[in-house]
Chains A and B, each alone.
Chain A
């Protein structure tokens, strides 16, 4: 049986309570919006690029503990990364929460590894990935809001 504590790790709960980089960035920062139409979660990612590097990143929105913590930790782990590094982290993260990654793969994820337990709760995978899909949209300058459906 899946254990709730595997998903609701202390670090996750702490980020959900006091999310980091919960603010807006003024234009010309990029901005993308994501929705989870099933539960009404919303997420807006702001992204300031300096050449190929993520100079600053922030988010706003509302959602469950998993989606808030995921967005908060995303901003922490991607700040200062290049586009290519960020894409790699996104792919690894996605594989981990959908239960497709061998354990060895996770080392590159650092603190984000706390989300591994989400893979035991299929109904919650979209909560963990909403901010990431929204980030992708911001990175690629998509105009349409992202939805998880």
Chain B
């Protein structure tokens, strides 16, 4: 079967969108060495950025230079290298404070990623405050890493996990969320942006409503940090989590922002070196925040790489990046959405970064393999959001997700790839 695919006339379409002023994609692509890789003999079209983004020279060099010129343990040596390493590590913390607009660098805790950040809050804050009969409130669009840590907590404490529903477009039904707020809810945790649907949640409004009941709010910002400006002061959220590797930084490192007063009152998450101020066998005094939550030698190179990634993003401007990606998403929605047999999953009014879809009844896994042969990397599967798949009664989707270095031409390549899928499997 070969049905003509309605690809809008490329030239005119692309021109009508036009470049974002001052945003030079070709120049920026040259900073990402991996974009020169060939995949099955074709240029790489990397559209799996929601899983992890690629890394610019600035980040790769920062990590390499750290190991070449600075490597030493931090917070403990009198020698020069240790001082340098400590300074660079703490400078990254300060850069992240600015990136999130946090009031105080002590509110920035380095963790392994969004997953560990959420587990830290569930184990430390959650185990202190959640009791039998209490509730934890999340939404139906959460990633498994913002579900399972709360399930573990609820199971241990005899508390209940409550889930605010979403509508067919993939938007949180705010009235239903409101109804679930109440005195039994001890914490609200939700995504800023959904990884499976691309939905942007109205988190500022949610925080305000939860605070009216005195309930703290954790925001899972894993999919927001790469695309949207974040201002934790303005949002007034209590915790904010994200992973470096989705924001052009290395794997294995991430950030938990927490309000200083909350972090100070919370018990440590793990014990070890660096998180103490004095240890005897009778009694241990914990270090001040944020060090109380950074037990053991941290991923120093990772933190420095994250610092370089944040500097790279800030240099381009997160708003310009977001505007460019928004143009990509709108174009992709139009071009892919116009292909006969395509069903978009997640059509919220406010979206960022990702386009999830199905093509006829072809399984996403098969689509992924055929696109891969064309050099196009997309994610296929349930995206660690099985409850979202169940909500739509589908086993999986294909997800194309965008970064600063993607181009409109790459979206045309995706559309051509989908045409090929229909030729092979239709």
A contact residues vs B (CB 8 Å cutoff) = 1-2, 4-5, 7-8, 13, 38-42, 62-66, 121, 123-124, 127
- Interface hub of B382, B386, B425 (most chain A Cβ within 10 A): B425
Q: State in angstroms the CA–CA spacing of A4 and B368 once bound together.
A: 12
Known: A4-B424, A40-B396. A65 touches B40 (CB 8 A): no
Query: Please, how many residues of chain B have a CB less than 8 angstroms from a CB on the other chain?
Result: 20
Contacting pair B382 A40 (CB below 8 A):
yes
Contacts of A65 in B (CB 8 A): 362-363, 366, 425
Contacts of B369 in A (CB 8 A): 4, 7, 121, 123-124
Binary contact track B363-388/A, C-beta < 8 Å → 1, others 0 = 11110011011000000111000100
From A5, A42, A127, give the contact of B365 (CB < 8 A): A127
Binary contact track B388-419/A, C-beta < 8 Å → 1, others 0 = 01000001100000000000000000000000
Contacting pair B373 A2 (CB below 8 A):
yes
From B372, B373, B395, B424, give the contact of A62 (CB < 8 A): B395
Known: A4-B424, A62-B395. A39 touches B380 (CB 8 A): yes
Shortest B210–chain A CB gap in Å is: 32
Contacting pair A63 B40 (CB below 8 A):
no
Q: State in angstroms the CA–CA spacing of A65 and B425 once bound together.
A: 9
Q: State in angstroms the CA–CA spacing of A5 and B389 once bound together.
A: 30
Chain A minimum-CB-distance residue to B42? A1
Contacting pair B396 A39 (CB below 8 A):
yes
Contacts of B386 in A (CB 8 A): 40
Contacts of B18 in A (CB 8 A): none
Contacts of A64 in B (CB 8 A): 363-366
Shortest B117–chain A CB gap in Å is: 23
From B40, B381, B424, B425, give the contact of A38 (CB < 8 A): B381
Shortest A90–chain B CB gap in Å is: 23
From B362, B373, B381, give the contact of A4 (CB < 8 A): B373
Chain A minimum-CB-distance residue to B41? A1
Contacting pair B382 A8 (CB below 8 A):
no
Contacting pair A40 B41 (CB below 8 A):
no
Contacts A8-B366, A40-B382, A65-B366 supplied; 13 other A-B pairs, CB < 8 Å: A2-B40, A2-B373, A4-B424, A13-B425, A38-B381, A39-B380, A40-B381, A40-B395, A62-B395, A63-B363, A64-B364, A65-B363, A123-B369
Shortest A94–chain B CB gap in Å is: 20
How many residue-residue contacts, CB under 8 A, span A and B? Answer: 52
Chain B minimum-CB-distance residue to A5? B424
Binary contact track B346-374/A, C-beta < 8 Å → 1, others 0 = 00000000000000001111100110110
Contacting pair B395 A63 (CB below 8 A):
yes
Contacting pair A39 B41 (CB below 8 A):
no
Contacts of B395 in A (CB 8 A): 39-42, 62-63
Contacts of A62 in B (CB 8 A): 395
Q: State in angstroms the CA–CA spacing of A41 and B382 once bound together.
A: 10
Q: State in angstroms the CA–CA spacing of A8 and B369 once bound together.
A: 11
Q: State in angstroms the CA–CA spacing of A8 and B370 once bound together.
A: 10
Q: State in angstroms the CA–CA spacing of A123 and B368 once bound together.
A: 10
Contacts of A63 in B (CB 8 A): 363, 365, 395
Chain B minimum-CB-distance residue to A3? B373
Contacts of B425 in A (CB 8 A): 8, 13, 65
Contacts of A4 in B (CB 8 A): 369-370, 373, 424
Contacting pair B366 A39 (CB below 8 A):
no
Contacts of B380 in A (CB 8 A): 39
Shortest B388–chain A CB gap in Å is: 11
Contacts of A66 in B (CB 8 A): 365-366
Q: State in angstroms the CA–CA spacing of A62 and B395 once bound together.
A: 8
Q: State in angstroms the CA–CA spacing of A114 and B40 once bound together.
A: 23
Shortest A114–chain B CB gap in Å is: 15
Chain B minimum-CB-distance residue to A8? B424
Chain A minimum-CB-distance residue to B368? A123
From B362, B373, B389, give the contact of A40 (CB < 8 A): B389
Shortest B48–chain A CB gap in Å is: 13
Chain A minimum-CB-distance residue to B362? A65
Contacting pair A39 B424 (CB below 8 A):
no
Q: State in angstroms the CA–CA spacing of A29 and B395 once bound together.
A: 27
Contacts of A42 in B (CB 8 A): 395
Contacts of B424 in A (CB 8 A): 4-5, 8
Shortest B142–chain A CB gap in Å is: 17
Q: State in angstroms the CA–CA spacing of A40 and B369 once bound together.
A: 16
Shortest B108–chain A CB gap in Å is: 34
Contacts of B372 in A (CB 8 A): 123
Q: State in angstroms the CA–CA spacing of A123 and B39 once bound together.
A: 15
Contacts of A2 in B (CB 8 A): 40, 373
- Interface hub of B362, B366, B381, B396 (most chain A Cβ within 10 A): B366
Shortest B132–chain A CB gap in Å is: 31
Chain A minimum-CB-distance residue to B372? A123
From B40, B381, B382, give the contact of A1 (CB < 8 A): B40
Shortest B382–chain A CB gap in Å is: 5
Chain A minimum-CB-distance residue to B386? A40
Q: State in angstroms the CA–CA spacing of A42 and B363 once bound together.
A: 13
Chain A minimum-CB-distance residue to B382? A40
Q: State in angstroms the CA–CA spacing of A113 and B364 once bound together.
A: 25
Shortest B13–chain A CB gap in Å is: 29
